[in-house]
């Protein structure tokens, strides 16, 4: 019935009964110290019982374990429900593959044997051990600690009625903390997610302070504090989040990453969870990814005029590298998805390599890297080339190996799409050089660089037209004169009024709803290729690009202010150096 051989030589096992040299010696107590004397008697009594169990184990051919002082892997607790473990004085404490170590107090008890047979039916090889009743009862307290959560099926589907109920309760996000106090921990997690979806939030930040936990939503790129909750209810919510994300509940001193999902009207919402230990407890950040969200087109992203025409023309090229650049959160991946949608035709093979896959595109082969498993952007890209694609998209160029492979792909007749972290389009060229890519590879491989930022779009529900302040008017006129020297054929006039949003329920009282790209685009034409090969300064490259009509992100943002899409303050914020 049982596998009596040790599972692992490193498994902590209390000395056998005949190894009396390692049994603690009897302490000596002063008669005058009554308290210590009583404690000493209890310890002697306990040692006597443990020794008796040791002897019994030896007679039965079992290993003896002092389970009260033996480390227990809390992940194993789900194998035996708490009520079963307590009723039968049985507890699992170590597992290696299919081998499981159990300890029991009464190995011949029929109910205990039934539990063991049930585990064997699951394909587990049982190594049975013997412990005292007192030791097992002490060890069973782990079921009542925060290291254990009763396993249950988590409902991952929310119907329209549930969503409407949640939204009704969250008419004001400030009430979120109050609502969380009166619901179960599982419902609390869904309240947080539905609140984020309703507010158009991309991230939920749960930050522990000394007296409370702060809830902040990232809405249109900026963090907004929406509520605070008491630490008294936070523990259960944190444990529920960990449980749903398949994280270790009993680990609180190291970072952890996980994910879970829920379904709304057949649309899957993925939630990536990051946990970080901080001074006052663990901080959680939840990235909300609506995989069913439609891929926006370039007009919706904010491309217009010459830049819209240029980006549309890019979808007609047959080879070359197109790079989207900007800092984290500047919408690079979103723009790449818009471009992939344009390239997605029946006659084209398209493969992506992402970290992670954020949105699923029909007709495109999407692959997710796994750095821990050795599947990196560089190694994945080499594998992708053997799949004979016309278009390749990799999430980011991070190192020389990836850059070289990407450039080779572009030089051998593929369209290569990727992202790079630079502050402007022209800085892409020295950035690639610094990575180690030589100019003779950059010049022929690179086709176009698009740098962008995301400015908040004015809420159309609460905006009102107002006269333009004099200081704003002067700045608009100054920038407009510069734009006209770069693009003399364009006719642009400043209106008498511009919209100002006051804030409403629809935009969560921010005055903004949604975001819009401000862009600059660098085309690597023959003149630019010569400048790259000759290692010309960035100043000369900028002069060449400006002669061909390139306007900067700030200038493109000013055009969007004149169009009434955003504000001057937003353009200043996102384009500040």
The whole-number pLDDT of residue 172 equals: 54
The whole-number pLDDT of residue 407 equals: 94
The segment with the largest mean pLDDT, out of 109-123, 280-294, 344-358, 540-554, is 540-554
Which of residues 186 and 342 earns the better pLDDT score?
Answer: 342
- Phi then psi for residue 14, to 5 deg, are -70, 145
Residue 550, pLDDT above cutoff 90? yes
Concatenated DSSP letters for 107-145?
A: TT-HHHHHHHHHHHHTTPEEEEEE--HHHHHHHGGGGGS
* Helices 470-486 and 553-562: angle between axes, nearest 10 degrees: 120
> Which pLDDT band holds residue 157 (cuts at 50, 70, 90)?
low
Dmax (CA) of the chain:
105
The whole-number pLDDT of residue 351 equals: 95
The whole-number pLDDT of residue 290 equals: 74
Give CA–CA dist 576/268, Å, rounded.
37
Q: Which long-range contacts (CB under 8 A, 24 or more apart) does 433-440 make?
A: 435/397, 435/399, 435/400, 435/403, 436/400, 436/403, 437/400, 437/403, 437/404, 437/407, 439/532, 439/533, 439/535, 440/533
Q: Which of 124-138, 148-162, 396-410, 426-440 has the lowest mean pLDDT?
A: 148-162
CA dist list (Å): 360 to 206, 224, 294: 28, 29, 10
> Which pLDDT band holds residue 159 (cuts at 50, 70, 90)?
low
The whole-number pLDDT of residue 6 equals: 37
Rounded to an integer, the average pLDDT of 211-222 is 90
> Which pLDDT band holds residue 567 (cuts at 50, 70, 90)?
very high
CB contact at 8 A, 124 and 116: no
Beta strands in 231-309 (DSSP E): 256-264, 267-278, 281-290
The whole-number pLDDT of residue 175 equals: 66
CB atoms within 10 A of CB 466: 10
CB contact at 8 A, 275 and 257: yes
Residue 2, pLDDT above cutoff 80? no
The whole-number pLDDT of residue 291 equals: 64
The whole-number pLDDT of residue 29 equals: 46
The whole-number pLDDT of residue 231 equals: 86
> Which pLDDT band holds residue 208 (cuts at 50, 70, 90)?
very high
The whole-number pLDDT of residue 285 equals: 96
Closest alpha carbon to 242 in 279, 281, 197, 195? 281
Pairing of strands 446-458, 391-394: unpaired
Rounded to an integer, the average pLDDT of 439-462 is 95
Residue 224, pLDDT above cutoff 60? yes
Which of residues 293 and 361 earns the better pLDDT score?
Answer: 361
Mean pLDDT over all residues of the chain?
Answer: 84
CB atoms within 10 A of CB 316: 8
Beta partners for 277? 282
Residue 391, pLDDT above cutoff 90? yes
* Helices 526-533 and 538-547: angle between axes, nearest 10 degrees: 180
> Which pLDDT band holds residue 498 (cuts at 50, 70, 90)?
very high
The whole-number pLDDT of residue 71 equals: 79
Domain architecture of the chain: domains with CATH = 20-144 (3.30.300.160), 157-290 (3.30.450.90), 298-575 (3.40.50.300)
CB contact at 8 A, 267 and 252: no
Please name the residues in contact with 313: beta carbons below 8 A apart, sequence gap of 6 or more.
Answer: none
Q: Which of 40-49, 91-100, 205-214, 447-456 has the lowest mean pLDDT?
A: 40-49
Residue 233, pLDDT above cutoff 90? no
Residue 12, pLDDT above cutoff 80? no
Count of CA atoms in the C-beta half-sphere (13 A) of 269: 19
Q: Which of 22-36, 140-154, 334-348, 480-494 has the lowest mean pLDDT?
A: 22-36
> Which pLDDT band holds residue 41 (cuts at 50, 70, 90)?
low
Tens-digit pLDDT profile for residues 298-320: 999 999 889 999 999 998 899 99
CB contact at 8 A, 6 and 63: yes
The whole-number pLDDT of residue 239 equals: 86
Pairing of strands 212-219, 365-368: unpaired
- Phi then psi for residue 511, to 5 deg, are 90, -5
Query: 3-class SS at 476?
Result: helix
The whole-number pLDDT of residue 19 equals: 43
Rounded to an integer, the average pLDDT of 141-161 is 55
> Which pLDDT band holds residue 145 (cuts at 50, 70, 90)?
low
Question: 375-401 burial, b if ≥16 CB within 10 A, otherwise e?
Answer: bbbbbbbeebbeeebbbbbbbbbbeeb
DSSP code of residue 173: G
Which of residues 34 and 57 earns the better pLDDT score?
Answer: 57
Tens-digit pLDDT profile for residues 403-442: 999 999 999 999 999 999 999 999 999 999 999 999 999 9
CB contact at 8 A, 551 and 487: yes
> Which pLDDT band holds residue 170 (cuts at 50, 70, 90)?
very low
Rounded to an integer, the average pLDDT of 190-194 is 82
Tens-digit pLDDT profile for residues 250-284: 788 999 999 888 776 667 788 899 999 999 999 99
The whole-number pLDDT of residue 161 equals: 55
Residue 534, pLDDT above cutoff 80? yes
CB contact at 8 A, 363 and 457: no
């Amino acid at each position: 019935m049982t596998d009596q051989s040790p599972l692992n030589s490193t498994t902590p096992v209390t000395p056998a009964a005949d190894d009396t040299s390692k049994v603690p010696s009897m302490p000596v107590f002063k008669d005058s110290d009554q308290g210590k004397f009583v404690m000493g008697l209890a310890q002697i009594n306990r040692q006597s019982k443990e020794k008796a169990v040791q002897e019994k184990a030896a007679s039965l051919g079992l290993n003896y374990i002092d389970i009260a002082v033996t480390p227990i892997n809390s992940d194993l607790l789900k194998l035996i429900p708490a009520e079963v473990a307590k009723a039968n004085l049985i507890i699992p404490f170590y597992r290696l593959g299919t081998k499981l170590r159990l300890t029991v107090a009464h190995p011949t008890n029929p109910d205990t044997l039934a539990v063991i047979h049930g585990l064997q039916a699951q394909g587990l090889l049982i190594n049975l051990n013997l412990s005292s009743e007192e030791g097992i009862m002490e060890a069973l307290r782990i079921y009542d600690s925060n290291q254990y959560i009763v396993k249950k099926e988590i409902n991952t589907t929310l119907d329209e009625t549930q969503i409407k109920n949640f939204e009704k309760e969250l008419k004001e996000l400030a009430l979120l903390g109050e609502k969380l106090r009166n619901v179960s921990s599982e419902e609390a997690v869904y309240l947080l997610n539905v609140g984020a979806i309703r507010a158009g939030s991309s991230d939920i930040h749960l930050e522990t302070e000394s007296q409370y936990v702060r809830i902040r939503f990232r809405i249109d790129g900026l963090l907004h504090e929406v509520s605070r909750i008491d630490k008294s209810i936070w523990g259960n919510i944190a444990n529920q989040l960990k449980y749903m994300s398949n994280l270790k509940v009993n680990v609180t001193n190291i970072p952890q990453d996980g994910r879970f999902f829920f379904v709304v009207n057949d649309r899957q919402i993925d939630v990536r969870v990051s946990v970080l230990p901080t001074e006052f407890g663990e901080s959680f950040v939840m990235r909300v990814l609506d995989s069913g969200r439609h891929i926006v087109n370039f007009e919706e992203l904010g491309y217009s005029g010459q830049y819209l025409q240029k980006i549309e023309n890019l979808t007609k090229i047959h080879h070359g590298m197109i790079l989207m650049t900007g800092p984290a959160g500047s919408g690079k991946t979103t723009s790449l998805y818009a471009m992939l949608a344009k390239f997605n035709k029946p006659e084209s093979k398209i493969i992506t390599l992402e970290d992670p896959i954020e949105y699923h595109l029909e007709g495109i082969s999407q692959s997710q890297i796994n750095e821990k498993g050795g599947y990196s952007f560089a190694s994945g890209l080499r594998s992708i080339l053997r799949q004979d694609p016309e278009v390749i998209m990799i999430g980011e160029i991070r190192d020389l190996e990836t850059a070289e492979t990407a450039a080779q792909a572009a030089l051998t007749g593929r369209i290569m799409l990727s992202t790079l972290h630079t502050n402007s389009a022209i800085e892409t060229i020295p950035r690639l050089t610094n990575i180690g890519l030589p100019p003779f590879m950059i010049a022929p491989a690179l086709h176009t660089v698009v740098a962008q930022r995301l400015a908040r779009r004015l809420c159309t529900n609460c905006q009102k037209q107002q006269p333009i302040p004099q200081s704003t008017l002067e700045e608009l006129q100054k920038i407009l004169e510069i734009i006209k020297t770069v693009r003399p054929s364009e006719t642009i006039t400043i209106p008498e009024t511009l919209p100002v949003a006051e804030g409403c329920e629809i935009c969560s009282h921010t005055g903004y709803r949604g975001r819009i790209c401000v862009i600059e685009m660098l085309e690597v034409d023959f003149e630019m290729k010569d400048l790259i090969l000759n290692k010309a300064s960035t100043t000369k490259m900028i002069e060449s690009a400006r002669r061909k009509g390139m306007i900067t992100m700030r200038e493109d943002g000013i055009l969007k202010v004149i169009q009434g899409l955003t504000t001057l303050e937003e353009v200043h914020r996102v384009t500040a150096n």
